[in-house]
């Protein structure tokens, strides 16, 4: 398998981001990323202006983020703009599906901050929807804002944002498990929601969600069976196919890069990866590899099932269910959330 690190959910000057796409790509290149996905609000103008493609050795893909006041929805792998429908997001979901795109519910439990843009927030309010492809469980900017409860704390979090990002949103993770336990193959995603804009905290004017920092934190690591070719159309299709399947994990790469993580279920000479469905047999075992010593939790049907410590981890007694992995690395006097995988399904 070939691994490619990228960052999803990014805003440029085509909407409310502070930089042009070319400059964002340059920062992603310096951060060591292989691809980025631009998702400007309500527009695909970056795509129409031929900004999609390789820039600074980074593959720039362009989607959009639909809806304004609530029910924000990331629309990927589409070529026509999707109209906003704040009150009936199912219409937006259906339009993305008509284009055979990938739709992701963004920052669904955002609370906002009284000190940030007059407390505005953008939660997901309609859980009667169906046929979407993913839920964003870890969002840099959204979760950062939720923790800005005072001017002093806001200034602290500008300089040390990691304190506001102690792991995925618990409610979003629980919602993902709820859907998966019902048999729906919803993928988990994470994103920076990078804007690079300034905000006023009391007498301070400070930058929020700077691209440089965001690209070192919540990234996705996609696995493909073949290497990228350098040809935009083929590589675009390859990455989106892997994302649609769920063949990737979310890594908080700032303290320890999560490159090299692997999670598979094996049966003698056969092996299945994230996003796969596995036929049940008596000899199934799960294998997890981490590049640094870590505490690894195997989550089965939304519940912690087995725990292992070290760099190489084997889990046996695999029976029907949905399995995902959470990894925590040593940090200061405890453990910090590091890697959250997508699931493998055992029938």
For residue 239, what pLDDT is reported? 98
Nearest to 136 by CA among 342, 344, 305, 347: 342
What digits encode the pLDDT tens for the residues 254-275? 999 999 999 999 998 899 999 9
For residue 268, what pLDDT is reported? 87
Burial (Cβ within 10 Å: 0-12, 13-18, ≥19) of residue 62: buried
For residue 290, what pLDDT is reported? 98
Report whether pLDDT(207) > 80: no
Cα 239–chain centre separation: 14
Judge contact between 23 and 237, C-beta under 8 A. no
Least reliable range by pLDDT among 92-96, 141-145, 286-290 = 141-145
262-346: CATH topology is: Immunoglobulin-like (2.60.40)
Distances (CA, A) of 45 to 21, 51, 67, 78, 82: 11, 9, 16, 12, 12
What digits encode the pLDDT tens for the residues 219-256? 999 999 999 999 999 999 999 999 999 999 999 999 99
Cα-only R_g, the chain: 19
Express as a percent the part of the chain with pLDDT over 90: 88
Q: How many residues does the chain have?
A: 347
Average pLDDT of every residue of the chain? 95
Report whether pLDDT(199) > 90: no
Nearest to 287 by CA among 331, 259, 318: 318
Supply the CATH classification number for the domain 2-252: 3.20.20.140
For residue 177, what pLDDT is reported? 98
Report whether pLDDT(85) > 90: yes
For residue 166, what pLDDT is reported? 93
Confidence of residue 202 (pLDDT cuts 50, 70, 90): low
Residues of the chain with CATH 2.60.40: 262-346
User: CA 234 to CA 300: how far, in whole Å?
Assistant: 35
* Backbone conformation region of residue 340, classed left if phi is above 0, alpha if psi is from -120 to 50, else beta: beta
Confidence of residue 204 (pLDDT cuts 50, 70, 90): low
What digits encode the pLDDT tens for the residues 154-189? 889 888 999 999 999 999 999 999 999 999 999 999
Residues of the chain with CATH 3.20.20.140: 2-252
Express as a percent the part of the chain with pLDDT over 70: 97
What digits encode the pLDDT tens for the residues 122-159? 999 999 999 999 999 999 999 999 998 888 888 898 88
**Span 11-15, average pLDDT:** 97
User: CA 221 to CA 249: how far, in whole Å?
Assistant: 5
Least reliable range by pLDDT among 127-141, 199-213, 290-304 = 199-213
Please, where are the H alpha helices in 182-280? 211-214, 232-245
For residue 200, what pLDDT is reported? 65
What 3-state DSSP class applies to 269? coil
Nearest to 139 by CA among 123, 155, 116, 158: 123
What digits encode the pLDDT tens for the residues 26-70? 999 999 999 999 999 999 999 999 999 999 999 999 999 999 999
């Amino acid at each position: 398998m070939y691994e490619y690190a990228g960052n999803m959910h990014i805003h440029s000057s085509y909407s409310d981001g502070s930089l042009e796409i070319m400059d964002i790509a340059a920062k992603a290149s310096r951060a060591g990323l292989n691809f980025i996905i631009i998702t400007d609000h309500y527009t695909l103008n970056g795509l129409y202006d031929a900004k999609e493609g390789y820039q600074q050795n980074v593959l720039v893909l362009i989607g959009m983020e639909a809806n304004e006041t609530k029910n924000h929805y990331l629309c990927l792998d589409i070529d026509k703009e999707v109209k906003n429908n704040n009150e009936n997001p199912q219409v937006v979901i259906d339009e993305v599906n008509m284009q055979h795109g990938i739709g992701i519910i963004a920052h669904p439990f955002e609370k906002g901050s009284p000190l940030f843009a007059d407390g505005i927030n953008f939660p997901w309010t309609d859980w009667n929807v169906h046929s979407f492809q993913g839920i964003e469980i870890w969002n840099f900017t959204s979760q950062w804002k939720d923790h800005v409860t005072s001017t002093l704390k806001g200034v602290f979090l500008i300089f040390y944002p990691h304190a506001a990002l102690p792991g995925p949103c618990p409610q979003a993770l629980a919602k993902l498990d709820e859907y998966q336990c019902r048999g729906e193959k919803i993928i988990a995603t994470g994103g920076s929601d990078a804007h690079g804009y300034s905000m006023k905290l009391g007498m301070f004017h400070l930058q929020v969600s700077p691209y440089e920092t965001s690209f070192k934190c919540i990234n996705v690591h996609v696995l493909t069976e073949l290497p990228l070719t350098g040809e935009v159309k083929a590589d675009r299709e390859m990455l989106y196919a892997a994302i649609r399947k769920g063949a990737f994990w979310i890594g908080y790469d700032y303290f320890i890069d999560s490159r090299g993580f692997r999670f598979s279920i094996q049966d003698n000479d056969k092996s299945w990866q994230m996003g796969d469905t596995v036929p049940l047999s008596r000899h199934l075992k799960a294998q997890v590899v981490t590049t640094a010593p870590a505490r690894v939790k195997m989550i089965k049907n939304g519940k912690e099932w087995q725990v292992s410590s070290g760099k190489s981890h084997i889990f046996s007694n695999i029976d029907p269910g949905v399995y995902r992995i959470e990894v925590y690395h040593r940090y200061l006097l405890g453990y910090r959330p590091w890697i959250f995988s997508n699931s493998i399904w055992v029938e």
